[in-house]
């Protein structure tokens, strides 16, 4: 039987949360699984939530669960508006025994709230099932429902022309027609500049998009990713005016589409479609990515650009050794029945 050690940490300082730097920016982990990501999320967190890192390790590897304490009765995943995915993180292969050890430690700790909510947890890579199994085995009540969707395009070994030939005819015809008539030019920037970012923010302000969750968060990330060589900002121009903008990053062979927007006044010109083609061409033919991730949300237009979709779950966890936990679980079950929310 493997030995397992674990602890709860109330700090995101590198030498406490990740003393061996398994989660550094030089690691193989996705951008949303790195310590710098959680540190940035915590810095911009509204409401004064305190971080809580649950960590367990054995001779084979280490596991982490990054949480935030919202109140005495509720903890949540340390994620935000910009998180493409939230999951338990492992230094080696995913290990259910390590996650079970974390679940047991959280259940016993009096300082840990009786209710924990995790989202958006991907189901396609097994993370969602792993969380359910580990916490249920450790004595928690675990409930999940699909709360969003992740869209992916697999482009490994393809040229842009090959990828583009697989798109729906209506999308390709729209691009060809608008590209001829609209007089739109597109540029892809690979390093950050204040002028370019101001143009992005101007377009976003004139778009249909809701107000940014934390605009400074996104700008800080853009500056950091530029220094790492991961920054891609697309700008579309009409008559010397920027009318569409998109912010992507490229990391470890994957392109992540973070933000896209166009000016409502230029909607009939389809500048977003024209700019998207320029960015897809760049990341496929120049960056040679193997995958493109369109982030969260089940927007219908994403199906035209992507190959497949996967569920993203919200998982709610309740302590069974707590009256508050049991009562909260009962309320959650009743609410799911009343609102006819599919829960497993």
Instruction: Name the pLDDT band for 212 (thresholds 50, 70, 90).
Output: low
pLDDT, tens only, 145-156: 999 999 999 999
Give how far the C-alpha of residue 34 lies from the chain's centroid of Cα atoms, to the nearest Å: 12
The residues, any chain, with a CB within 8 Å of residue 96's CB and separated by 6 or more, are 130, 133, 134
Report the share of the chain in percent with pLDDT over 90.
82
Handedness of CA 2, 113, 214, 217 (dihedral sign): negative
Res 2: pLDDT = 67
Query: Across the strands, what pairs with 243?
Result: none
Of 42-56, 125-139, 177-191, give the range with the top mean pLDDT: 125-139
| Residue labelled with tokens 């920037």 | 189
Lowest mean pLDDT among 6-10, 196-200, 205-209, 301-305: 205-209
270 φψ region: left (φ > 0), alpha (ψ -120 to 50), beta (else):
left
Side-chain-side CA neighbours of 272 within 13 Å: the count stands at: 20
Q: Which residues pair with 232 in a beta bridge?
A: 248
Stretch among 43-52, 116-125, 310-319 having the lowest mean pLDDT:
43-52
Joined together, the tokens standing for residue 235 give 């700008």
Confidence of residue 214 (pLDDT cuts 50, 70, 90): confident
- Mean of pLDDT values over 63-92: 95
Quote the crossing angle between the two packed helices 194-205 and 215-227, to the nearest 10°: 150
Backbone angles phi, psi at 203, to 5 degrees: -65, -45
| Lookup result for tokens 């237009």 | 301
The secondary structure of 264-314, three-state, reads HHHHHHCHHHHHHHHHHHHHHHHCCCCEEEEEECCCCCHHHHCCEEEEEEE
What is the predicted pLDDT for the residue at 78?
96
pLDDT at 280: 98
Torsion angle, alpha carbons of 115, 121, 126, 130, to 10: -10
Local confidence band at 1 (pLDDT 50, 70, 90 cut-offs): very low
Distance CA 315, CA 232 (A): 33
Give the pLDDT confidence score for residue 343 in this predicted structure: 84
Average pLDDT on 283-291 reads 98
Query: Which residue(s) pair with 67 in the sheet?
Result: 52, 77
Q: For residue range 321-337, list pLDDT tens digits in order.
A: 999 999 999 999 999 88
pLDDT at 69 > cutoff 60: yes
Mean pLDDT of the chain: 93
What domains sit in the chain, N to C, each tagged with a CATH number?
A: 5-149+311-338 (3.40.630), 156-289 (3.40.630.30)
Mean pLDDT, range 21-37, rounded to an integer: 94
On whether the CB atoms of residues 293 and 91 are closer than 8 A, the answer is: no
Asked whether residue 90 carries a pLDDT value surpassing 50, the answer given is yes
Is the torsion defined by CA of 340, 151, 36, 224 positive or negative? negative
- pLDDT of 220-231, one tens digit each? 999 999 999 999
Identify which of 171, 112, 157 has the alpha carbon closest to the alpha carbon of residue 305: 171
- Contact in structure between 224 and 194 (CB atoms under 8 Å): no
- CA 289/CA 152 separation, integer angstroms: 12
Which residues are bridge partners to 6 per DSSP?
A: 56
Q: Which residues pair with 71 in a beta bridge?
A: 74
How far apart are alpha carbons 55 and 18 in whole angstroms? 9
Write down the pLDDT at residue 210: 67
């Amino acid at each position: 039987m493997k030995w397992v050690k674990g602890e709860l940490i109330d700090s995101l300082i590198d030498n406490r949360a990740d003393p061996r730097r398994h989660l550094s920016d030089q690691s193989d982990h996705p951008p949303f699984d790195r310590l710098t990501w959680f540190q940035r999320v915590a810095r911009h967190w509204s409401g004064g939530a305190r971080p809580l890192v649950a960590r367990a390790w054995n001779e084979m590897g280490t596991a982490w669960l990054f949480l935030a304490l919202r109140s005495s009765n509720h903890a949540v995943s340390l994620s935000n508006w910009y998180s493409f995915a939230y999951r338990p993180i492992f230094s080696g292969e995913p290990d259910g025994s390590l996650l079970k050890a974390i679940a047991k430690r959280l259940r016993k700790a009096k300082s840990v709230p009786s209710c924990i909510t995790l989202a958006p947890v991907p189901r396609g890579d097994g993370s969602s099932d792993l969380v359910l199994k580990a916490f249920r085995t450790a004595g928690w009540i675990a409930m999940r429902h699909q709360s969003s969707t992740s869209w992916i395009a697999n482009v490994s070994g393809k040229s842009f022309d090959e990828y583009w030939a697989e798109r729906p005819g209506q999308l390709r015809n729209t691009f060809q027609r608008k590209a001829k008539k609209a007089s739109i030019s597109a540029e892809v920037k690979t390093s950050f500049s204040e002028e370019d970012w101001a143009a992005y923010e101007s377009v976003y302000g004139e778009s249909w998009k809701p107000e940014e969750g934390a605009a400074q968060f996104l700008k800080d990330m853009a500056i950091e990713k530029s220094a790492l060589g991961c920054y891609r900002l697309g700008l579309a121009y009409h008559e010397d005016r920027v009318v569409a903008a998109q912010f992507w990053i490229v990391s470890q062979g994957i392109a992540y589409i973070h933000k896209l927007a166009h000016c409502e006044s230029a909607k009939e010109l389809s500048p977003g479609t024209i700019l998207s083609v320029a960015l897809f061409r760049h990341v496929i033919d120049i960056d040679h990515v193997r995958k493109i991730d369109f982030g969260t949300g089940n927007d219908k237009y994403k199906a035209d650009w992507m190959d497949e979709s996967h569920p993203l779950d919200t998982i709610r966890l309740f302590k069974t050794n707590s009256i508050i936990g049991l009562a909260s679980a009962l309320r959650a079950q009743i609410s799911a029945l009343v609102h006819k929310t599919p829960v497993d």
